[in-house]
Structure 1
Amino acid sequence: MRAGGRTVRTNGTVDRRSLLKMAGGSMAALGLTAAGCGSGSGSGDGTVTIRYAWWGSDDRAKRINQTIALFEKKHPKIKVQTDFQPYLDFWKKFNTQASGGNPPDVFQNAIGFLRKYDEKNVLLDLNEQVEAGNLSMDNFRAGLEEFGRVDGKLLGVPVGSNSMALVIDQPVFAKAGISPKPGWTWDEYHDAMARIRDTQGRAGDSGLYGVMYLYDLFLRQNGKAFFTEDGLGFTEADLVDWWTKGFQGVRSGVYADPKKVAQIRPKSAVAAEIAASEFTWDNFTIRYTSEGKSQYGLAPIPTTDGKTTGQYLGSLMLSGSRRTQHPKEVARFIDFMVHDPEVAKIMGYDRGVPATTEQYEAFQPTDEVNKKIAAYERQLVETRVLQPITPHPAGADVCEAAFLRVAEDVGLGKRSVDEAVQQFFTEAKTALGS
């Protein structure tokens, strides 16, 4: 595909559940050490070339290339070479490049990888560029300016925000007489799922037991967390309870049959009308509209005490390479991508709700799906339920893949709950080095 005057590799996308299942524990083998020379290049006329890599859909590639064309127009002395890969291919290639000392100058990143690559001396601390005036950390929404900081270092700059939500098939919920409100409890949620099963002929939920980020919220509601700064923040007994209830939900039909869910992938169970709801990131809502025939909305996260959801705003980020020969140009590129209003008009909510006020105000969604996403996050801010994000230690990405895979084994009856818990803790302790 050619987009914005550049050739990029494009491939069909895979949903995150399928993606992580495919990843399994294999990502643990993708270790690396930073070595070798820096990246980026310059020319005799003062023009600098930086390399920018990301993952995502074909549509994201098209939009990003449009923003790069705009950047180069406004910064004629900085040229940008692009590299686009599907999620798993991106990280495999990134590891190969980083282990050879030649990672991209700037790249898309996520919270689960910050400590991992910081420990491997791959990530550029952008604090110096902020102090030099090449990158502004002003005007970020809802505390997002802190999202990419680790131990005082600025390792990533958010490009957008998202949060966990319950995506629902609105007509099904309406026919069942269910109207979730902020502060509804887990007991009310489970009653609602059973009512949908009994009155609408489908499972209430696609199966929440394998969603690591949702389990993190549940733990945070109860004074714990999935991760601490250096390991797991819950016990084997905690997970036995969570997965036991999840397996009981599958057997009772409250949660969808995992075999049916696997058969229809990469299509979601909600869009396939196997289940009436599913916990996922709010900005993924647009996926259901494109896949299904119904109308889809966002319902609040259930609570333990009627008020605490444990939620935070998450984000994709842009990070720089510690090996880059052009940290100033990398910083200016990141600054442009997170602050320029025209970028927001091009990207929309592809990477979440824009992180800075300049971009948030520049893009006003007109379609119903993006309006719902904006309203959902606005409600989270206004009701003040947001909390600081749980630290993600090095190896968090491997833990997430293992959690989903082992949880699915429980749902499919391949392992007992006790066996599954032991398997997960064994893999997690290896990944976390504990």
Structure 2
Amino acid sequence: MKPTAPLAVGAHSPLHNGSASRRTLLRGIAAAALAAPAAAVLAACGDDKPSNDPNAPVELSIFWWGGDARAKMTEDALALYTAKHPNVTFKKTWQANAGYYDKLATLTAGGNAPDIFQIDDGALSEYAERNQTLDLSKYADSNKLDKSKILPGLWQAGVVEGKAAGVPMGENTPGMIYDKGLLKTLGLPEPTTGMTWDALIAWAAQVTSKSGGKVFGTMDPSADYKALWVWLRQQGKQLYDGKKVGASAEDLTKWFDLWKGARDTKAAPPADVIHGANAGAVANQLVVTGKAATSFMWANQLPELQKATKSELGVVAYPGDPSGQWARAALYFSIYKGSKHADVAVDVLNFLVNDVEAGKVLGTDRGLNANTDVRTAVASTLKDAAATAAQFETDLASKFGQPPTVPPKGHVKVRSLLITYAENVQYGKATSAAAADAFLKEANAALAG
């Protein structure tokens, strides 16, 4: 089956805004959890019971989000699997990030969940804790799913309440993308890994001044949960402390004040400009729209950002001590617990993460390959921005801090709330202290719910 065309191009997490999306997600997961036992009984009584014949025809449904390039890579990798296992074919569906989890929740609630689906750490706990993902632990223990070459931290990032809920398909870390071409034109130095947050803002003020106010020095990332998380880790804290926010009201006030100061000195742009990029869409990032010299993204998004601008881009770590960064399991593939072909689906994931040929086809679109041997083989095939992003993360790896645990249920809502209250400060609707208090109250309620 040919995949449907995407609604819009996007490679980042689809959980970027709106409480409506989370309500749809929760309703879908809850409904599926209630329906699962009945569905299992019906499946056992029907004609679609899994065959014991290893060569019997199997069609697996698979669903992911991303742009055209990711779709082509994924389809080609699945075609490789079918070439080696002619009895296994795929019903492929993909779309852009917007609305992905709404669609997945609808499919799950309707008893039509895909056998395999892409998921990120924003939703992994939501699905795993409601028992909608197959526990892959027993497959790993029996070596049907070989994790021996998967970095232990990445594998552990997919474990929720002791159960392996997903296979990590790549490693990623935050990256501050900057406009190298602009800096050359202005005769200014490039930002560096390890520069302090205050140094970044002072440097950004120079960019704004030297450009005559045509380009602001830096995006204001006060609404970016990644930037807040890194900043907190540099102070010995985490975004989450169990099922509550790990930051204090004082911490959050300092964070919001830091960026208010940057806006006041015109190192960062005004609220209307910042707002356009806060949702995370690549096309709206200020480093490609020419409105600012930096954007705060994931490092593996450098190639996609580079395609959106004619100016040469570069990447460094977020400001501050680089040990605040970590090796994040960029994206996972999970298997629906009710899949009638779970064993075959596991074998497909084993192939996608461990086969060198498949790894070369998939490239680094979902981050650096989780399998270290495959990563080494793929590295030699990378070019231009993809090679730059991969080398950046490789060089930074020795400085990474310990990765945090998988975000708790409610992470999606917390991300949305951070945007809301950061924008309240950006637009002057609330003081930093008032926004910090209100954010903490709502965020902790969401995590406890």
Please state whether the residue corresponding to 1:404 is helix, strand or coil. helix
Which shifted more, 121-130 or 143-152?
Answer: 143-152
* Residue of structure 2 in register with 1:255 after alignment: 268
Which shifted more, 313-322 or 80-89?
Answer: 80-89
**Taking structure 1 as reference, are residues 123 and 366 closer, same or farther at Cα in structure 2, changes over 3 Å only?**
closer
Q: Deviations over 1:291-321 (max 9, x none)?
A: 1121100112222xx5633433331011111
Please state whether the residue corresponding to 1:88 is helix, strand or coil. coil
User: Under a length normalisation based on structure 1, what TM-score does the superposition of the two structures give?
Assistant: 0.90
Q: CA deviation at 1:356?
A: 0.9
* Residue of structure 2 in register with 1:231 after alignment: 244
Q: CA deviation at 1:428?
A: 1.6
Asked if structure 1 preserves the Cα contact closer than 8 Å seen for 2:243 and 2:408, the reply is: yes
Distance in 1 (alpha carbons) for counterparts of 2:211 and 2:250:
34
* Residue of structure 1 in register with 2:18 after alignment: 24
Match of 2:113 among 103, 112, 115: 103
Match of 2:307 among 281, 290, 295: 290
**Residues 11-410 of structure 1 mapped to structure 2, 5 A cutoff:** 11-14=7-10, 23-30=17-24, 31=26, 32-33=29-30, 34=33, 35-36=35-36, 37=39, 42=50, 46-141=56-151, 143-174=153-184, 175-201=186-212, 202-262=215-275, 266-303=283-320, 306=321, 308-363=323-378, 364-381=380-397, 383-410=398-425
Q: Percent identity?
A: 26
Distance in 2 (alpha carbons) for counterparts of 1:204 and 1:212:
20
Please state whether the residue corresponding to 2:219 is helix, strand or coil. coil
Q: CA deviation at 1:283?
A: 0.7
Distance in 1 (alpha carbons) for counterparts of 2:264 and 2:140:
54
**Amino acid of the structure 2 residue aligned with 1:379:** D
In the alignment, structure 1 segments of 5+ residues that lack a partner are none
Asked if structure 2 preserves the Cα contact closer than 8 Å seen for 1:147 and 1:157, the reply is: no
Q: Deviations over 1:265-295 (max 9, x none)?
A: 7432111211001111001111221111211
Which shifted more, 54-63 or 264-273?
Answer: 264-273
Q: CA deviation at 1:56?
A: 0.8
Asked if structure 1 preserves the Cα contact closer than 8 Å seen for 2:65 and 2:96, the reply is: yes
**Amino acid of the structure 2 residue aligned with 1:427:** E
Asked if structure 2 preserves the Cα contact closer than 8 Å seen for 1:67 and 1:346, the reply is: yes
Please state whether the residue corresponding to 2:154 is helix, strand or coil. helix
Asked if structure 2 preserves the Cα contact closer than 8 Å seen for 1:12 and 1:58, the reply is: no
Distance in 2 (alpha carbons) for counterparts of 1:389 and 1:160:
16
Please state whether the residue corresponding to 1:67 is helix, strand or coil. helix
In the alignment, structure 2 segments of 5+ residues that lack a partner are none
Distance in 2 (alpha carbons) for counterparts of 1:200 and 1:86:
35
Distance in 2 (alpha carbons) for counterparts of 1:415 and 1:182:
33
Which shifted more, 286-295 or 138-147?
Answer: 138-147
**Amino acid of the structure 1 residue aligned with 2:2:** R
Distance in 1 (alpha carbons) for counterparts of 2:288 and 2:77:
32
Asked if structure 1 preserves the Cα contact closer than 8 Å seen for 2:10 and 2:67, the reply is: no
Which shifted more, 395-404 or 253-262?
Answer: 253-262
**Amino acid of the structure 2 residue aligned with 1:322:** K
Q: CA deviation at 1:263?
A: 5.7
Pairwise CA RMSD? 2.5
**Taking structure 1 as reference, are residues 333 and 164 closer, same or farther at Cα in structure 2, changes over 3 Å only?**
same
Q: CA deviation at 1:76?
A: 1.9
Q: Deviations over 1:34-85 (max 9, x none)?
A: 1232588757972222211111112211221111111111112322211212
